Structure 1
Amino acid sequence: MFTSIAGRAVVVTGGTRGIGKGIAAVFARAGARVLITGRDESSARVAAAETGAAGYVIADVARKADCARVAAEADEKLGGVDVLCANAGIFPSAPLAEVTEDEIDQVLGVNLKGTILSVQACLPLLRRSGRGRVILTSSITGPVTGYPGWTHYGASKAGQLGFLRTAAIELARDGITVNAVLPGNIMTEGLAGLGEDYIAGMTAAIPLRRLGTVEEIGHAALFFATDEAGYITGQTIVVDGGQVLPESPDAVAS
């Protein structure tokens, strides 16, 4: 039995849909006071109600001023930040030969720059907490695998892990841990939009023969937030149903 995190202040960026919404729901059910961020007012309002979050902030994590406002709102509404789940991310697809400069800037801005700015803005509150936890949502795509159309996305997710390792060293003196969850193919609204053929192909490549759920990513993040994980920092955990294990498609054929 893990020590309860009930009452702890948790910020989940990109918590209005998909994996972020799942993370927020898992933490809220564990008794944490959760603040989610998103860029759409109506989605944020619905997500806050559905997850049991204490509130929401409309913010673009690629903007430093917005991240500062998130931290200020967390301090006002939650009394600080014990856990930051830097989850906000986008994954538009574009072949390398065709991806535009604007698309590259947008993906790196939200996924990588947004991670750095979110941590930076919440850092004083995480230090004040005395038990600060930073949990990044990265991906197997980039750090472990590749997929056509996602060169910019893969670069942003691999970049998060480069950030993680040095941030973990720098923040260790404050007792703050920095870790990451690397999801495989998780059933979200965005994944559903890629079509049935994509989903069927991905499912066939996963030894457990199913896509993951957003709650399963939430539970991995929750573990990193526990007191029992207090001696783990600079580490990653892959949650992918064994997707990265097969040497070839024949290994999972049946």
Structure 2
Amino acid sequence: MVVLITGVGREGQVGESVARAFAAHGARLALVDRTAAQAERQAAALRAEGHEAHGFGCDLADVEQVDAMIAQVHAIVGDVDALVCAAGGFAPTGPLDETAVEDIERQLGINLKTAVLATRAALPMLRRTRGSIVYFGSAAVLPGATGGGMLAYAMAKSGVLALMRAVAEDERAHGVRANAVAPTSIRTAANVAAMGDRADYVSREEVAASVLWLCSDAARAVTGQVLRLG
């Protein structure tokens, strides 16, 4: 199984745990982050443990860079069986009249545009392998949530879930599945630094296990679904 994972560069973040979960199950990994050095550092750590992993640097909000990165991935590891769009980020932005347009554009860029461009570029490979895609939504945009205090983030993650549902429907005929996880706060290094150690977190390992399952043969009949975590 060949898996392409975006957003794996920083230690202590969820992308790192997702990569380790797939590696433990024998997957060959293409790891992507904004700089090649960050992605290669994670890939090298996995190779040192006997796994196959390759690092790729890419600004996932730049269409030309994404297309070039996908071509590189294909040349090195071949067609991918799964795409995990873990790249993204959170920032509180307050109500609309207190939110800068630049902050909205940034949240849409790092959370939604990155997923759109990665999916668009990887689809030809995923159609050939009848593969799967997993997106990262958020419990903050599920029914019953308000998105208060995080307007730009809520807009972006709502868009990610809309993207997932559209891709799931459009790609059904090609055998490509698309699903999403929607965690509450994940215990990452960044979240602990911002919110403290005693908040109610979902562990990175729990998130990784859910992503792994969605890409497995056990979930072959599952598409267009959102798994709330936490």
Alignment TM-score, normalising by the size of structure 2: 0.90
C-alpha displacement at 1:49, in angstroms? 2.6
Residue of structure 2 in register with 1:87 after alignment: 86
C-alpha displacement at 1:67, in angstroms? 1.6
| Cα distance in 1 between the residues matched to 2:72 and 2:208 | 23
| Cα distance in 2 between the residues matched to 1:113 and 1:14 | 13
Residue of structure 2 in register with 1:246 after alignment: none
AA aligned to 1:171 is E
Deviation by residue 1:89-143 (Cα, 9 ceiling, x = unmatched): 01122222332111111110121121111111000111111x3101111111223
Q: Is 2:45 the counterpart of 1:50?
A: yes
Alignment TM-score, normalising by the size of structure 1: 0.82
C-alpha displacement at 1:171, in angstroms? 0.3
Deviation by residue 1:65-94 (Cα, 9 ceiling, x = unmatched): 122122112211111111000111011222
Equivalent runs, 1:1-12 vs 2, <5 Å: 8-12=1-5
Q: Is 2:117 the counterpart of 1:113?
A: no
Residue of structure 1 in register with 2:7 after alignment: 14
Deviates more, 1:30-39 or 1:68-77: 68-77
| Cα distance in 1 between the residues matched to 2:115 and 2:142 | 16
| Cα distance in 1 between the residues matched to 2:142 and 2:86 | 16
Count of residues paired in the alignment: 222
Residue of structure 2 in register with 1:235 after alignment: 225
Residue of structure 2 in register with 1:127 after alignment: 127
Aligned residues with identical type, % of pairs: 29
Residue of structure 1 in register with 2:102 after alignment: 102
Retained in 2: the 8 A contact 1:138–1:157? yes
Residue of structure 2 in register with 1:248 after alignment: none
Indicate the SS of the match to 2:141: coil
C-alpha displacement at 1:193, in angstroms? 2.6
Retained in 2: the 8 A contact 1:178–1:234? yes
| Cα distance in 2 between the residues matched to 1:214 and 1:51 | 17
Which of the residues 32, 35, 53 maps onto 2:27?
32
Residue of structure 1 in register with 2:68 after alignment: 69
Deviation by residue 1:126-171 (Cα, 9 ceiling, x = unmatched): 1111x31011111112234345432111111111111111211110
Instruction: Return the index of the structure with the highest Cα Rg.
Output: 1
Retained in 2: the 8 A contact 1:21–1:51? no
